[in-house]
Amino acid sequence: MYSSIKEIVEKARNIAYRSNNSILLQMYWEIGRIIVVDEQQGQSKAAYGKAVLKNLSSELTLEFGAGFDERNLNNMRAFFSSFPIWNAVRTELSWTHYRIISRVENKTQRALYVELASEGNWDTRTLQRNINTQYAARTLILPSESEPPKAHHFLKDPYIFEFLGLHPHVKHSEINIETALINHLQRFLMELGKGFAFVARQ
């Protein structure tokens, strides 16, 4: 009975989280759209950023409380500019995910990070690490929408193992590297990406 009730509660919480997250993302997307549309009606970005957003932030904060400071309004604008089609927004990712991904300049890589973060269930720390190490750009060949995935779509050059804590200018024995990899197994498999498995110690 306990297990059944626990499953029901967890399922309901997950549905509520996804629903709330979707509503929050759509609200921020709509706010970003309104800001961008207003900007494009003859307003220069410099004047817009200094005056209008500051005043808008003050009024919204007074009315609705925290969450509408000038920086966050800029994030909403960047969110809409990066994802101008609402149907392209994956609502399983959080607002923090999208704030991070919106900073990626390359449109193809932005879309790829959305897909990878969704499929890999990346938390925001992993996402930020992978963007910082250019995870998508290091893939040998980016897959196109028209072709099925192949091995070279998952291999990267180079692989980056900064999390092992091994000094880069010192020669290390195979056993030391193997031990370090096993001690950081989750991060190691995350860096390898899809198509890799860990069996015994290999």
Task: Per residue of the chain (202 residues), give pLDDT as tens.
Answer: 888 878 888 888 888 877 888 999 999 999 999 998 887 775 555 555 567 888 888 999 999 888 899 999 999 999 999 999 999 899 999 999 999 999 999 998 899 899 889 988 888 998 998 888 877 766 655 555 666 666 555 555 555 666 666 666 677 777 777 777 777 676 666 666 666 666 665 5
Q: What is the pLDDT of residue 14?
A: 80
Token reading at 52:
């209008």
Amino acid identity of residue 122, one-letter, is W
- Mark residue 122 as left, alpha or beta (left: phi above 0; alpha: psi -120 to 50; beta: remaining): beta
Q: What residue segments make up the domains of the chain, in order of their start?
A: 2-139, 140-202
As a whole number of angstroms, the distance between CA 153 and CA 141 comes to 5
Q: What is the pLDDT of residue 27?
A: 93
Write down the H helix ranges in the chain: 2-39, 45-47, 53-64, 70-82, 95-101, 107-120, 124-132, 174-183, 185-192
Q: Whole-prediction pTM value?
A: 0.66
